[in-house]
């Protein structure tokens, strides 16, 4: 599955949409591009206490995924094991949550 990113035409900075101006140089010249959705785990934590609809999903892993190319996204990790630098790929986007496996 691919992930949509916006790239600044002026400085090349990448971001997750929606963005209406570049967070780095303030340019309004942004273009959407598709990314493979592949990357590696930069950091992660295991959530053991939650309320509401997430309580039934405990424990679960929230990871900071560094996509190939350097852009980082916060995501849920499928499964119960994680390690720094572990290769992951986007499986789905559900309720604005990126799910990697």
Per-residue pLDDT tens listing for the chain (101 residues): 899 999 999 999 999 999 999 999 999 999 999 999 999 999 999 999 999 999 999 999 999 999 998 899 999 999 989 999 999 999 999 998 999 99
Q: Which of 49, 85, 43 is nearest to 63 (CA)?
A: 43
pLDDT of residue 55: 94
Name the pTM for this structure. Answer: 0.88
pLDDT of residue 69: 86
Residue 56 tokens read as 């039934």
pLDDT of residue 9: 96
CB 38 within 8 Å of CB 68: yes
């Amino acid at each position: 599955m691919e992930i949509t990113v916006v790239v600044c035409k002026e400085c090349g900075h990448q971001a997750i949409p929606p963005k209406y101006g570049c967070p780095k140089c303030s340019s309004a010249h942004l273009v959407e591009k598709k990314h493979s959705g592949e990357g590696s785990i930069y950091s992660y934590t295991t959530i053991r206490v939650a309320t509401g609809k997430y309580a039934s999903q405990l424990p679960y892993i929230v990871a900071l995924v560094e996509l190939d190319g350097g852009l980082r996204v916060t995501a849920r990790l499928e499964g119960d094991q994680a390690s720094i630098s572990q290769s992951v790929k986007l499986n789905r986007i559900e309720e604005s949550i990126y799910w990697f496996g």
